[in-house]
Amino acid sequence: MKLKSILSRSVGRALVAIVLAALLASAVATHAADAAAAQEPLPAITLKNGRFDPSELVVPANTAFKLQVTNGDAEAIEFESFEVHRERVVKPGETITVFMPSLSPGTYKFFDDFHGSTPNGVIVAK
């Protein structure tokens, strides 16, 4: 009877240890994946000398993403896309992060609404 009780307790402890180890391993793996994702550079667009660079940005389709927009010029710009429903003012020298939606494969125009002479750019979701 005593041996049975000791055995049962040992099995219970082993099970708890296994579950804890699995949870720890999962947490470590998630953290590592997050860290790797954080290190990946965000898609970025810079406006410099009245031009977007790149003027064509390729992003993965069907995945929401963050887009960095930098204004390297001396006047404020308005980064806007009717098709993607985004509109942000970027002050001179500033970099902003735009939360972009998951895009179906296709081409999406963006422009500087404050400067009609700035050539349009496109985001290509592939």
Report the residue number, 11 or 34, with the smaller CB distance to other proteins: 34
Of the residues 59, 76, 96, 124, which one makes contact with other proteins according to CB under 8 A: 96
Query: Using the 8-state DSSP alphabet, how is residue 5 labeled?
Result: H
C-alpha gyration radius of the chain: 25
Report the residue number, 97 or 107, with the smaller CB distance to other proteins: 97
Which tokens go with 52?
Answer: 């977007």
Strand 65-71 relative to strand 95-100, pairing: antiparallel
Phi then psi for 89, rounded to 5 degrees?
Answer: -90, 135
Determine, following the binding rule CB under 8 A, whether residue 125 of this chain makes contact with other proteins: no
The footprint of other proteins on this chain (CB under 8 A) covers a number of residues equal to 12
Report the residue number, 98 or 121, with the smaller CB distance to other proteins: 98
- H helices of the chain, where? 2-39
Report the residue number, 12 or 101, with the smaller CB distance to other proteins: 101
Report, in Å, the least distance between residue 81 CB and other proteins.
Answer: 10
Half-sphere exposure of 64 (CA within 13 A, CB side): 5
Of the residues 101, 105, 106, 119, which one makes contact with other proteins according to CB under 8 A: 101
Binding site for other proteins (CB under 8 A): 82, 85-89, 96-101
